[in-house]
Amino acid sequence: MNKVAMLFPGQGSQYLGMGKGIYDEFSSVKNIFEEASDSIGVDLKKLCFDSTIEELTKTENTQPALLTVSYSMFNILTNEMGIEPLYLAGHSLGEISAITCAGGFEFSDAVKIVRKRGQVMQEAVPIGVGAMAAIGNSNIETIEQHCKNASTESEQVFISNHNSTAQIVISGHKKAVDAASKTLKEAGARVTPLNVSAPFHSPLMQPAADRMQEEMKRYKINPLKIPVVSNVTAQPYVDHTHIVKNLTMQIVKSVRWHESMMYLKNQQIERAIEAGPKDVLKNLMLKNAPEIITYSFDKAEDAKAIKKEFRRNSDDDSKLVDKGLLFITKCIAEAVCARNSNWDNNEYNKGVVEPYNKMRQLKDSIEATGSKASLDDMIEAFEMLKVILKTKLVDISEQKEIIDDILNKTDSKELLKAKLELIAN
């Protein structure tokens, strides 16, 4: 069975007419568009299909429109096609799409959040003060040094996006961006000024970050059902209580996309599906980890290939799936996603970090040998998950829900019911 991640694009992927094909085909998508429209008082159907590219490209419009299309595609891929991703990752705005698809935000709340995000980001820096530029034919260390050399106490430039080894973006005060661009060109780099309205993902956006931190605190945040890789850490969220902090930091910090894709590669992800308009993230994957076969669901030929491949995998699941390994993988995912209420570092290291690392080592060892996971392996992973949930102070009823979900999704209840105590003592 393929190990799948789903990717969610950010601003720049929008185009007039995006999502119309799935809107016309799926009634569920019509409902999603209607819910989004009601949430913010904007006709998203009209905005995406019948407005102008100028209207759609306004940041306050682009962000809810992209979220709505991405969320719609995710629901088709998971609910209609039955694909179960092991990880989600989103680029900039796309991280909010990923968190929403993982259950962190209610969809109607997320639409309000990104509408506000677009507004405050647009207002954070006056037009003409900031700038951004894409840099090619150089490396991150060289670019970082040129940014430092071009910065002064009052005019600064920073790396804002590490998209791949071949694509790095700088952002900051226009004077400093121009100065860094000039010296980088002289050093042989390829420099492309970007037509953007603000210096995104730089400290200049701190006013927007402050306002968004307060905005997000107004909404309920739920535990993530699927691990989401953070732009700020290039690691999955350990706990959903970090969401506001990380999304606030994301506005002023660099997007670590290259490292995030390296994380997915190191987790042996085999397939990735871009759930959103265009194929920007698919093309970046070719530069970051070409061995991960990536599809863009927005492209007709890719959508056809997805349906064919995952239908075949579904037909062959009974023959190909190692239930034991799938069980261990789900235990690892739940260990990451379970909310933490224990802030004692010593207890956390001993009761969460150490057993988590042991589970990872167990899984890696099984995969390296090509053998099947034994019943003892499954029990070992289960016992370590129990320790992690207990250490994180997860409520007993929630522990039972987590374990029942793992058993049901891996079809392991009958196999393990005589061996496992389902509720951690």
DSSP letters of 253-310? S-B-HHHHHHHHHHTT--EEEE-SSSSHHHHHHHHH-TTSEEEETTSHHHHHHHHHHH
Beta-sheet strand order (sheet of 4-8) = 228-229, 87-90, 4-8, 271-274, 293-296
Spatial separation of the C-alpha atoms in residues 355 and 338, rounded to whole Å? 14
DSSP letters of 88-122? EEESTHHHHHHHHHTTSS-HHHHHHHHHHHHHHHH
Nearest to 311 by CA among 24, 85, 86, 80: 80
Spatial separation of the C-alpha atoms in residues 410 and 322, rounded to whole Å? 9
Q: Which residues in 137-259 belong to E strands, given as ranges?
A: 157-164, 167-173, 190-193, 228-229
Q: Under a CB-based contact definition with an 8 Å cutoff, are residues 15 and 54 in contact?
A: no
Whole-number CA gyration radius for the chain: 22
Strand 4-8 with 271-274, pairing:
parallel
Q: What is the dihedral of CA 77, 39, 33, 63, to 10 degrees?
A: -70
DSSP state of 204: G
| Residues counted in the chain | 425
Question: What three-state secondary structure class fits 47?
Answer: helix
State the Cα angle at 111 between 107 and 112, rounded to 5°. Answer: 120
Strand 228-229 with 87-90, pairing:
parallel
Strand 87-90 with 4-8, pairing:
parallel
Q: Under a CB-based contact definition with an 8 Å cutoff, are residues 102 and 120 in contact?
A: no
Task: Supply φ then ψ for residue 421, to 5 degrees.
Answer: -90, 120
Question: What are the residue numbers of the active site?
Answer: 92, 201
